Amino acid sequence: MEQPLVTVNGASWDLVGVAPPATALDWLRSIGLTGAKEGCAEGECGACSVLLARPGIEAPTEWTAVNACLVPAAALAGQEVVTAEGLGEPDALHPVQRELAVRGGSQCGYCTPGFVCSMAAEYYRPGRCESGVFDHHALSGNLCRCTGYRPIVEAAEALGAPAAGDHLSFRTTAPPPEVTPVRVPGFARPATLAEALDLLGEPGAVPLAGATDLGVEANLRASRPGLLVAIDHLTELRTLEVTADSVEIGAALSLTEIERRLAGAVPLLDEVFPQFASRLIRNGATIGGNLGTASPIGDLPPALLALDASVVLVSAAGERVVPLVEYFTGYRETVLRPGELIASVRVPLPLAPLTAFHKIAKRRFDDISSVAVAFAIEIVDGVVARAAIGLGGIAATPIRATEAEQLLVGHPWTGATVVEAGAWLAASGTPIDDHRASADFRRAMMENALFKLYTETVAS
Amino acid sequence: MSRLSERPVTAVVGEARPHESAALHVTGRALYTDDIALRTPYLLHAHPVCAPHAHAMITRLDPKPAYDVPGVVRVLTADDVPGINDAGTKHDEPLFPTEVMFHGQAVAWVLGESLEAARIGATAVEVDYEPLPSILTVVEAIEQESFQGAQPRLERGDVAAGLAGSTHVFEGEIDFAGQEHFYLETHASLATVDDDGQVFIQSSTQHPTETQEIVAHVLGIASHQVTVQCLRMGGGFGGKEMQPHGFAAVAALGARLTGRPVRVRLTRQQDMTMSGKRHGFHATWKVGFDDDGLLQALEATLTSDGGWSLDLSEPVLSRALCHVDNAYWIPHVRVDGRIARTHKTSQTAFRGFGGPQGMLVIEDILGRAAPVLGVPAHELRRRNFYVEGQATPYGQPVRHPDRLDRAWQQVLESSDFERRREEIARANAENPHRKRGLAITPVKFGISFNFTSFNQAGALVHVYKDGSVLINHGGTEMGQGLHTKMLQVAATALGLPIERVRLAPTRTDKVPNTSATAASSGADLNGAAVKNACEQIIARLAPVRAQLGVATTWEELVRTAYHERIQLWAAGFYKTEGLSWDAVAARGEPFKYFAYGVAAAEVSVDGFTGAYEVDRVDIVHDVGDSLSPLVDIGQIEGGFVQGVGWLTLEDLRWDVSDGPGRGRLTTPSASTYKLPSLSEMPADLRVTLLDRATEDGAVYGSKAVGEPPLMLAFSVREALREAVAAFRPPGESVELASPATPEAVFWAIEGGRD
């Protein structure tokens, strides 16, 4: 095993002795870098945003913004990190920094370095200049309490192309850093899936991918697992294959990677992605992690249920395939056995032609569902030929709306059918009152979702 | 024109300049309190022991087990306090309580070599509680008559006669939410002691002097043994006016007892759980209009949710009463104010300081009454505007009401209000599932601390022999651009390029006895003090300049003056003249002037879900002659969006069940408490500063800007009401909860269906 080193703003640092619960943010601040800051410690505010050199899709390497507050410091081993300090100096500002500074994009300045990093990731994104569009979602995981955002958006939109000699731009043309195996107390990064499965057999071991959930557990609820086994880099879990029969998505692919690699192949997921947390989170969060954590309010499960997906589970004993509808067994409980990992998610083809994802939340970017409803429907000659409806936020697990589906199938796609099925939808699950929404509202939203979908199909 | 407001022809004030620390912000070099802490050797980290009850007596507290945790250095308890065990100025906020008054209250603090050690140590401290009955809502407090502090009455005219003479009388009630400050930088303090036991505290505080005083009384030492410095804050918004004191005192106490630097830095959850917020209010009202829709009388009772201790609840309530009129002439008024004592965090200052809560009441009344009166809401509002010669219910003449008319007219025109209103009505008629709403609302906000004594400020200006200038003033920088403005003021007053002037961090040993940087008054007060100091220096230099000739460079002038033994530094002072306030009678002229603004907002609402978007906002706001237009526009936009957050999105919830979690804040984190993100930014936001707006009573003709724009956000709430109304039969009054979350909007729509 190599000596764990990390490159920060071009300089090499020793990571020896750095172990959980120290986060990347803690460690960066401990070496005197003050740019990344803690605003919430749960990946919601982006004040800790930093850039990582990650494997790219349109370029060998892409600068990827992530929440440093969630990632264990030990996971930085072998990585290349750039913070706001590494982008520019006060008297030699980076273009992103200059635009923010001169346009009044900072007031108290506390969130600013995080915005700088998130904006810089988008600045360097291959294809941004060609498209001429700065994707606002790049900033969806950064909160500012002072400015009201207008000058920040203006700064983003004023950005031109990186200059010819820009070294960070140049860096993207070379491969990303090689993965370094690591073993420190409480953290391991195995080189192969087999090693990972082996490590997961150790007491207290839990798999770790983007840390977007485990990091929150560690920071907010002081969860201290015995061993974090980093699986995010395992090539066996990072494949994406589209065949005639199915789309198979590797569990360790981040949502950002899936979105870009699918490139529209699964339209329902394209509706989910922009509503799934924020870009910062999607850069870390994996499809396997979202199913592994088995939250009843996760955004992917309702969509994947509607898509009739299955999960491929792997363990030392071999593989098994479980339909997603049978995967969730209780509140945050699944059929996963100790030592077993999600290897991939399989979505059968052909897809239903009419799909929609309705997420009800207080805020449009970066919020958690009160209710999520996903539809996959096929209408043939005015009659519903197939219908799959996934629901989130209304029971201890994500569920299928079986009764409503049965009521739809074989019936004409009309207002009357929709009203009747909507009543069944409203009766699905066991919604509760909480700080996100009342049970009555949740029921009303389920009922209305189908009617809204119907209205939109009729209007178009 | 007053000397204070007179602006030279060439002036650095008025230039649009970026924030003075912008280059440091964007490169991550700007230091905040906790950045310094992490660079401090031998540092100890503090972690609170938090009570799991809304109300309880502590029957036993045993810190001993914590000392078995590796890395735990010291446990701080009430027994360690050498001075007064109180974190406030009202002697009702024990720093280490024996009676727990809210869920999550710190009962002891553990100091550790690492934060992890302190955290584990805190879990090891043994505390026994005897739970007591708790009061959580204002309604419960009213029922049980649980009040605290003064109960002021604001009265003018004869309300009974006014209501009797009204042709339309309405009654109503509204219970509306408070707001979490959610400054991105949580509370932070770092205390060190020197060889003489003097305490130096770096604190994220808006009120360094009061932090100093509280630390001194907790430690039982004099103020001159305590120095507080605030480099800058990562946001304050009022939440760091009184709330930092206790945390600073814990750090200071720890440093005195251990001799080591002690850092207190709250996590977001601790900050949200332990620190005070904007007061939610409950209001009942009765209002009378005549046939023309003119307000005749208002009778109301405003009860604020003060939380467990008084903190700033009394002045907040005063300001609420003083803003219940907003921009409207109401001949007969009687408003009673009360402060509920509940088992929650002690609610405190928050941008607007009661003004928004007072205004919400009258804006809600007008929005609800308009359809029943058969008058469009914007017309109803305009008809009731103050005119020259009228005075507020507390007796202050309303100066410059014409500016409100001017701003209103300008927004009507720039927003193309009437045409869009018609177009929206047409579109709404055609679309059963999506409705748009357009509304325009005014703001009139009084500037000065209601409490007259606070309206003073000091500054210290040094001119060094090389001609460079260093300024110090009593105000703190929390992102509002105060330091930028102060540099501009000094450069203007001295006639120098701004590059010759530097600003040093706010410290109590440089400028003593300062007021909180609050009430939007930072630039007014400190700017006048800085200007005063600069003018003293200029006056002393005048004879030298006369001797050397006008062509003399500044550097030569300064050099010569030094050799002639002329004092090149000065302490400046300012107090606002002409203020008076009788808090008991609720009468006087507490404000130097009023700031005005008008906003028109358009929203669109989805009838299936209640979800909405803010499509366009037009604002004209009065900042006098702006000291710093880029800063001022930033304050207007930021304040507006923060107000929109309060009124539409931000949703504080407590566990009000009788279960074991009773009293717990159930939204103590960024994932459960949503503040506006990029997605809430109006798609089209147009802000204009009112022209021809010189304010004679303030520095270089400017006006305060920190708080007033927050209340421009009522335009969004009223636009939502208009959109909801479009789903419902015409002529119906629409009640809208606050915050008007998508769920609340949905129920408002549903309330009128069938």
Check which CATH number belongs to the domain holding A17 and give it.
3.10.20.30
Half-sphere exposure of A100 (CA within 13 A, CB side): 36
**Cis geometry, peptide bond prior to residue A412 (ω within 30 degrees of 0):** no
A-chain residues near B183 (CB < 8 A): 108, 110, 145
Tell me the residue range of the domain where A375 lies. 352-460
Nearest residue in A to B669, CA atom: A40
- Which candidate in A34, A85, A119 is best for mutational testing of the B interface (most B CBs within 10 A)? A34
d(CA B231, CA B215): 18
Unique residue bearing structure tokens 């699964």: A266
Residues 6+ positions from B524 with CB-CB distance below 8 Å? B447, B448, B576, B592, B698, B699, B702, B703, B704
Instruction: Report the alpha-carbon distance of residue B416 to residue A308 in Å, rounded.
Output: 51
Cα A205 to Cα A185, A226, B225, distances in angstroms: 12, 6, 52
Give the separation between CA B401 and CA A259, rounded to whole angstroms: 56
Q: Do A90 and B24 touch (CB under 8 A)?
A: yes
Please tell me the total count of domains within chain A: 3
Is A45 inside a domain boundary?
yes
Stretch 109-128 of chain B: residues touching chain A, C-beta under 8 Å: 116, 119
- The answer to whether position A452 is within a domain reads yes
Contact B183 A151 (CB under 8 A): no
Output phi, psi for B315, to 5 deg.
-65, -30
Q: Are B475 and B482 in contact (CB under 8 A)?
A: yes
Residues of B in contact with A444 (CB under 8 A): 746, 750
pLDDT at residue number B2: 82
CATH number (domain holding residue A251): 3.30.465.10
| Segment holding B727, helix H or strand E | helix B714-727
Does A113 contact B26 at a Cβ distance shorter than 8 Å? Answer: yes
Rounded mean pLDDT of A336-363?
96
Among B184, B481, B631, the residue with its CB nearest the CB of A111 is B184
Q: Chain B closest CA to A218's CA: distance in Å?
A: 12
Contacts with B, A 198-217, CB within 8 Å: 216
Q: What angle do CA A243, A246, A251 make, to 5 degrees?
A: 105
Q: Do A89 and A123 sit in the same domain of this protein?
A: yes
Axis crossing angle, helix B482-494 with helix B522-548, rounded to the nearest 10: 20
**Who among B23, B478, B671 is closest to A44 (CB)?**
B671
Nearest to B31 by CA among B249, B229, B247: B229
Interface test with B, best of A362, A364, A373 (most B CBs within 10 A): A362
Residue A377 is assigned to a structural domain of this protein: yes
The answer to the question of residue A223 being in a domain is no
Q: Which residues of A touch B741 (CB under 8 A)?
A: 362
Minimal Cα distance from A142: which residue of B?
B677
In sign, the C-alpha dihedral spanning B439, B745, B365, B164 is positive
Q: Cβ of B235 and A147 within 8 Å? A: no
Three state DSSP letters for chain A: CCCCEEEECCEEEECCCCCCCCEHHHHHHHCCCCCCCCCCCCCCCCCCEEEEEEECCCCCEEEEEEECCCCEHHHHCCCEEECHHHHCECCECCHHHHHHHHCCCCCCCCCHHHHHHHHHHHHCCCCHHHHCCCCHHHHCCCCCCCCCCHHHHHHHHCCCCCCCCCHHHHHCCCCCCCCCCEEECCEEECCCHHHHHHHHCCCCEEEECCCCCHHHHHHHHCCCCCEEEECCCCHHHCCEEECCCEEEEECCCEHHHHHHHHCCCCHHHHHHHHHCCCHHHHCCCEHHHHHHCCCCCCCHHHHHHHCCCEEEEEECCEEEEEEHHHHEEECCEECCCCCCEEEEEEEECCCCCEEEEEEECCCCCCCCCCEEEEEEEEEECCEEEEEEEEEECCCCCCEECHHHHHHHCCCECCHHHHHHHHHHHHCCCCCCCCCCCCHHHHHHHHHHHHHHHHHHHHHC
B325 phi, psi to nearest 5 deg: -85, -20
Decide which of A297, A328, A351 is a domain's last residue: A351
Contacts of B740 in chain A (CB under 8 A): none
DSSP helix/strand/coil, B368 = helix
- Are A358 and A347 in a shared domain? no
Tell whether A101 and A11 lie within a shared domain: yes
Same domain? For A394 and A252 the reply is: no
Q: Find where tokens 């709404």 sit.
A: B428
CB within 8 Å: B681 and A367: no
Q: Using the 8-state DSSP alphabet, how is residue B505 labeled? A: P
Contact list in B for residue A97 (CB cut-off 8 A) is 23, 26-27
List % helix, strand, coil for chain B (3-state, nearest 5). Answer: 35, 25, 40
Question: Which of the residues B180, B602, B637, B707 is marked catalytic?
Answer: B707
Assigned domain for A138 exists:
yes
**Fold exhibited by the domain B22-30+456-575:** Aldehyde Oxidoreductase; domain 4 (3.30.365)
Specify the pLDDT at position B628: 98
- And the tokens for B363? 């804006």
User: Which among B301, B345, B423, B352 has a CA at the least distance from the CA of B726?
Assistant: B423
Instruction: Give me the DSSP letters along B241-284.
Output: TSTHHHHHHHHHHHHHHHSS-EEEE--HHHHHHHS--BPPEEEE
Closest by alpha carbon to B738, among B384, B359, B295? B359
Say whether B133-384 and B22-30+456-575 share the same fold.
Answer: yes
Residues forming beta bridges with residue A392, ordered by sequence position: A372
pLDDT of residue B451: 86
DSSP string, B380-429: HHHHTB--TT-B-TTS-B---HHHHHHHHHHHHHHTTHHHHHHHHHHHHH
Q: Is the dihedral of CA B238, A364, B734, B615 positive or negative?
A: positive
Residues of chain B with Cβ-Cβ distance to A134 below 8 Å are none
**Domain boundary pick from A351, A373, A389:** A351
Q: Which fold has domain B133-384?
A: Aldehyde Oxidoreductase; domain 4 (3.30.365)
CB contacts < 8 A (A, B): 251
Q: Which of B478, B667, B742 sits opposite A108 (nearest CB)?
A: B478
Q: Do A101 and B29 touch (CB under 8 A)?
A: no
3-class DSSP assignment, residue B450: coil
**pLDDT in the model for residue A460:** 66
Half-sphere exposure in the Cβ direction for B525 (13 Å, CA): 25
Q: What is the pTM of this model?
A: 0.98
Within an 8 Å CB–CB cutoff, is residue A136 touching chain B?
yes
Contact A205, A229 (CB under 8 A): yes
What is the rounded distance in angstroms from the CA atom of residue B745 to the CA atom of residue B754?
16
Say if A224 falls within a structural domain.
no
Q: CB distance A363–B679 less than 8 Å?
A: yes
Q: Distance (Å, rounded) from C-alpha B317 to C-alpha B302?
A: 8
**Which residues in A lie closer than 8 A to residue B185 (C-beta atoms)?**
37, 39, 108, 110
Kindly state the helix (H) or strand (E) to which residue B319 belongs, with its residue range. Answer: helix B313-322
H/E stretch holding B563: helix B554-563
Per-window interface: A 27-56 vs B, CB < 8 A: 29-30, 32-42, 44-45, 47
Residue of B30, B236, B681 lying closest to A150 (CB–CB): B681
**Chain A touched by B653 (CB under 8 Å):** yes
User: CATH number of the domain that A375 lies in?
Assistant: 3.30.390.50
Q: How far apart are the first and last CA of chain B?
A: 62
Last residue of a domain, one of A145, A171, A197: A171
Q: A49, A91, A108: best mutation site toward chain B, by most B Cβ within 10 Å?
A: A108
Extents of the domains making up chain B = 22-30+456-575, 133-384
pLDDT in tens, B215-256: 999 999 999 999 999 999 999 999 999 999 999 999 999 999
Asked if B161 reaches chain A (Cβ–Cβ under 8 Å), the answer is no
A460 and A361 within one domain: yes
pLDDT at A114 over 90: yes
Query: Which residues in chain B (599-638) have CB-CB distances under 8 A to chain A?
Result: 606, 608-609, 611, 613, 630-631, 633-634, 637-638
Average pLDDT estimate for A404-433: 95
In angstroms, the CA B179 to CA B739 distance is 10
A97·B608 Cβ contact <8 A:
no
- Residue A265 and residue A287 in one domain: yes
Structure tokens at A4: 């764990």
pLDDT for the residue A364: 83
Ranges of chain B with pLDDT below 70: 1, 752-754
Are A63 and A147 within one domain?
yes
Q: Please indicate, yes or no, whether residues A12 and A148 belong to a single structural domain of this protein.
A: yes
If you average pLDDT over every residue of chain A, what do you get? 96
Count Cα atoms within 13 angstroms, Cβ side, for A127: 7
CA distance B621 to B626: 11
Is pLDDT of A1 > 60?
no
Q: Which residues of A touch B237 (CB under 8 A)?
A: 145
Residue B24 touches chain A, beta carbons under 8 Å: yes
Percent of chain A with pLDDT over 90: 94
With a pLDDT cut of 70, the percent of chain A lying above it is: 99
Task: Report how far apart, in Å, the C-alpha atoms of B617 and of each of A230, A298, B190 are.
Answer: 47, 34, 42
Whether residue A357 sits in one domain with residue A297: no
CA separation for the pair B106, B96 (Å, rounded): 7
Active site residue B180: no
Domain for residue A437, yes or no?
A: yes
Separation CA B4–CA A448 (nearest Å): 61
Shared-domain flag, residues A426 and A459: yes
pLDDT at A144: 98
Residue numbers in B near A139 (CB within 8 A): 678
Q: Is A259 on the interface with B (CB under 8 A)?
A: no
pLDDT at residue B752, as a whole number: 64
Tens digit of each residue's pLDDT (9 = 90 or more) over A403-417: 999 999 999 999 999
CB proximity list for A396: less than 8 A, separation 6 or greater: A296, A330, A331, A430
**Could you count the other beta carbons within 10 Å of the beta carbon of residue A198?**
16
Q: Give which of B707, B739, B710, B716 is closest to B640, Cα–Cα.
A: B710
Whether residues A102 and B631 touch (CB distance < 8 A) is answered with no
Complete edge-to-edge strand list for the sheet that includes strand A80-82: A11-14, A5-8, A80-82, A49-55, A61-67
CB atoms within 10 A of CB B171: 9
Instruction: Report CB contact under 8 Å: A93, B27.
Output: yes
Per the CB < 8 Å rule, is A110 touching B235? yes
pLDDT at position B291: 97
Q: Which residues of B touch A220 (CB under 8 A)?
A: 267, 269, 669
